[in-house]
Amino acid sequence: MFDSFKYMFSDKNFIKKYLLVLLFVFIANLFMNWSGVYAPSLNNGKFNILCYLLYIIGFVVMFVPFGYSIEVLRHTLSKDSGSELPNINVAQNFLAGLKVVLSGAVLILALFVVFYLIGFITPFFAAGTFGEVMSSVIYVLSLLILFFTSFFGIVMCCRYVIKPSYLNFVNFKAAIDIVEGNALQYLKSYIATVLLAVVVYGLSIIFVSYLVNIGYKGLVIYAFLVSVIWSYVIFVLAKIFAKAVDVDKI
């Protein structure tokens, strides 16, 4: 797994490509964090369209890094790829990012329906001891659904790169078939991804705890620090994901 943190430096132009990714990630994070200043919870519940407008702008800008991460993953999955990472093509990466977001939206919609149904039936079991037991069962079931979905996220991303489809992220059967026979290696990659996410989010919490009280300057510094980390993590995750699956089975 250590190779996942250093392989990108074999590309002599990596710093240039990294800085371009960082630029878009920073702009996106800056807008999304800026939107929080106008959140109703921080303004006595008052609605301010800037909260949503700024967040949408930032999210749309993030389509470019999303799309570029797909290209990097495709590069790492290819057995014939050399050390040179793909170049950033803003228009092409933007469209690729838009497509993967729409594909992911299908999964989010499916989960919304599932949890809506769970929430709908829960009140029918609310009374008495039986209701408490059923509520616990439903809560555990909800956690299992979230874990099941996240567990197969890696293989779904890899499969999307090879066989892009708007229904890819709800095709659990295909994901299970790919993981079978390579379960141990896949589990290692999943654990590495989770640990990396914990470290990154932990650092984000530390940054925000120190910078939240110094106004807009703190917001900019926080957005930059988080962007520096996430721009690098894009390359790291591509290698971890590639190691998780047998490309020939996709």
Model-wide pTM > 0.75? yes
- Structure confidence by residue, pLDDT tens digits, 155-202: 999 999 998 888 999 999 999 999 987 899 999 999 999 999 999 999
pLDDT score at 139:
79
Residues 40, 45: Cα–Cα separation, whole Å: 4
Tokens encoding 31: 């807008």
pLDDT score at 141:
83
Chain centroid, CA 128 distance in Å = 40
What secondary structure does DSSP assign to 81-101, as a single string? --SPPPPP-HHHHHHHHHHHH
